[in-house]
Amino acid sequence: MLVRGVRGATTVKENTKEEIVKETSNLLKEIISVNDINSEDIASIIFTTTIDVNTEFPAVAAREILSLNTVPLLNMHEINNPNGLKLCIRILIHWNTNLTQNDIKHVYLNKATNFRTDL
């Protein structure tokens, strides 16, 4: 087994606790579902937000909605790029898997679908 990275991103409509938890949980559920990830195989998850998303930690969704209580989680802000997508949450899951990098499905929702039009 190798540790592989699974990426995902989404946006929120507004900087509220409810919206951050809702959209983060939607993204996490989709990433886990399309890749058939078992929570026991998740090594860690890094959450980043743009500077304008700050009323809640995205990791709250992992703990409270998905019950990923034993997975190490980290929240950070992205570089404040003036040309970057606003109100954005990004996720990087470190996953122990036998899949090849080409077999992993990365997920982009809402306005973040513009990041990876190739996917």
- For the chain, the domains span 2-114
- Residue-wise pLDDT tens for the chain (119 aa)? 899 999 999 999 999 999 999 999 999 999 999 999 999 999 999 999 999 999 999 999 999 999 999 999 999 999 999 999 999 999 999 999 999 999 999 999 999 987 766 65
The CATH architecture that domain 2-114 belongs to is 2-Layer Sandwich (3.30)
Task: Identify the sign of the CA torsion 61, 38, 108, 81.
Answer: positive
Query: How confident is the model at residue 34, as a pLDDT?
Result: 98
Query: How confident is the model at residue 117, as a pLDDT?
Result: 63
The structure's pTM equals 0.94
Query: How confident is the model at residue 118, as a pLDDT?
Result: 62
Q: Name the phi and psi angles at 93, rounded to 5.
A: -95, 130
**DSSP letters spanning 35-88:** HT--GGGEEEEEEEE-TT--SS-THHIIIIIS--TTS-EEEEEPP--TTSPSSE
Judge contact between 19 and 54, C-beta under 8 A. Answer: no
